[in-house]
Structure 1
Amino acid sequence: MAYDRTAMLKLLRPAMTRILTPLGRALVGRGIGPDAVTAIGTLGTVVSALLFFPMGQLTVGALVITVFVLFDLLDGVVARLGGKGGSTWGAFLDSTLDRVADAAIFAGLILYFISRHDTLMAAVTLACLIAGALVSYAKARAEGLGLTADVGLAERPERLVVALVAACFSGLGVPYILPAGMWLLAAASLFTVGQRVWIVYQQTRER
């Protein structure tokens, strides 16, 4: 059974689009295109994650990163308002830079755990990073072969929500929430990889 991972985003996207439209209109008026917005969002995420998380500023880092993650919606708004719509290059750039941003977030958390000599949680967070990359790769590779692998518990939105919420509340002093979040993400991401491998295997068996 396929997991409808976009249900929450479908509910939030119209509201977020209305909120971001004035900003998008201002950017278009200054000649800033969607590709630039995508790059700015990724750069902001990378710098914030690698600056705030290793310093132990988890709440500040999570909140700042959340702002930049919204650029993932803003680039679409800018493309629409600029009359250019989506493009193949824009989709490729957005997908590629998403992987960079995700890696930076988990790398920042790994450095945070290392700074506190917590080798176990650094390893678990590394597992989150690797498994998350495999989740995306499995889908992309399947689609490149003419198959589908759009299933799983831990897609990118879920991974970001769990990681950022756990980091935010951990910074506010909630005990055990960040380790619990990382363990949950590692297990869910590995399970999602297995789901995608299995669904691709089933499709190849039917051919």
Structure 2
Amino acid sequence: MEHGDVGYLLQYFQKKLVENPTFYHAYKMDDEDQITNVFWVDASMLIDYECFGDVISLDSTYCTNTSHRPLAVFSGFNHHRKAVIFGAALLYEETTESYKWLLETFLEAHKQKMPQTVFTDQAQAMAKALGEVMPGSYHDLCVVPAVFSYHDSFSSSSSVTSLNRAKAVKKRCGGGAIEKWCGREVVVRRR
């Protein structure tokens, strides 16, 4: 991350900490004293995780910032089936070491409360880190069908087309179970 970006981010975190002392943030530095990974949770994320953190999803497939750094988001659902966020991070790179730091920091922020189940994509580095940091948590793969574009996969109103897509995805993804998650087809494979 560029020095100016980091400076603004740390100023923002300090401001949030003054506004609410339960705001939590952490960062990791490399050998050259450069910030590599940044993690944060606010008060609502802490409360939501305490109440709804038994089953979470960790997704780092977003690369929307100008530095193309992975944005990792811990999320889940509340009792109204609304998506909630339990934490977020910007990572320098997607390595096992980065994910271990992220998971350890996540647990530190949430008072070492382990989720029962963690849904992830197929990232090998993430899976390895999960096995080391959260060995008691069940790890499931949740693969949103990348075989099709988002628009093609989820916008069709035809149930026959949807069923055919589900069968094609199941065949391509090694026979994983097709399930409905918030009205969208997902493939779930257990590790």
TM-score interval, normalised by the smaller of the two chains: under 0.3
State TM-score, norm by structure 2.
Answer: 0.28
State TM-score, norm by structure 1.
Answer: 0.26
Larger fraction in helix:
1
